[in-house]
Chains A and B, each alone.
Chain A
Amino acid sequence: EDQVTQSPEALRLQEGESSSLNCSYTVSGLRGLFWYRQDPGKGPEFLFTLYSAGEEKEKERLKATLTKKESFLHITAPKPEDSATYLCAVSSSNTGKLIFGQGTTLQVKP
């Protein structure tokens, strides 16, 4: 069964304190692993797609990496505006649907 598990559920950081969010997955035929950011009361905002182990993508203070079993979202020197829920999802070759994790809620304090 396709499954995505994110950890931690919640993360509190001080501004400038770097950290990583984890996304572990099991999927039948990975078509892609996706990271989204969701602010309260809004739809998810697309961040990255990773297709194969070893791939890395960067955008501003965020860097996503992928292995055969998990993905990490590294946040370097975060700012309060990085506070949001970060969702990880995979698309399997079986269904083409996105399977979402429960998300990590990040709070960055000034």
Chain B
Amino acid sequence: GAVVSQHPSWVICKSGTSVKIECRSLDFQATTMFWYRQFPKQSLMLMATSNEGSKATYEQGVEKDKFLINHASLTLSTLTVTSAHPEDSSFYICSARGAGGRYEQYFGPGTRLTVT
């Protein structure tokens, strides 16, 4: 149980284009989803938190107009990187947390974004 998928697993795009990454909870309803970014040999950096049907809450320093997050259903959240630049190249990981008062987050397999 508690499986989270991400699509695509890797993507290459040209500078100035936008990229959408999907995160799905496959066998549970995710009331809250999180988006992280991870640089090589570093730990995870939280970018934003989203609750189903609400606007996302972004961490300090994360541009909300650049990283658009939509959490339209209890099983799907999307992250759109708008007008991507090479410095946006990174490993993006989503996680999902269910209801019921438990605080574990279950992570997706990650998406490797390369902007050329």
Give the CA-CA distance A96 to B108 in the complex, in Å: 19
Q: Is the beta-carbon distance between A41 and B103 smaller than 8 angstroms?
A: no
* CB of B85, distance to nearest CB on chain A (Å): 23
The answer to whether B46 has its CB under 8 Å from any CB of chain A is yes
**Which residues of B lie under 8 Å from residue A31 when comparing CB positions?**
103
Q: Determine the distance from Cα of A44 to Cα of B95 in the docked complex, in whole angstroms.
A: 9
Interface of A is mostly: strand
Q: Is B2 an interface residue (CB 8 A)?
A: yes
A-B pairs under 8 A by CB, number: 49
Within 8 A of B (CB), among A20-40: 31-32, 34, 36
Interface size class of A (residues with CB under 8 A): 20 to 34
The A-contacting residues of B in range 71-116, CB under 8 angstroms, are 91, 93, 95, 102-110, 112
By beta carbon, the residue of chain B nearest A88 is: B43
Does A100 sit at the interface, judged by CB under 8 A? yes
Interchain CB contact (< 8 A) of B107 among A41, A44, A49, A96? A44
Q: If A41-B110, A42-B110 touch, does A100 touch B103 (CB 8 Å cutoff)? A: no
- A44-B44, A103-B43 given; A49·B49 CB < 8 A: no
Binding site for B on A (CB under 8 A): 31-32, 34, 36, 41-46, 49, 87, 91, 96-98, 100-103
Can you identify 15 A-B contacts, CB atoms within 8 angstroms?
Answer: A32-B103, A41-B91, A41-B112, A42-B109, A43-B110, A44-B93, A44-B107, A45-B107, A49-B102, A97-B34, A97-B46, A98-B46, A98-B105, A100-B44, A101-B43
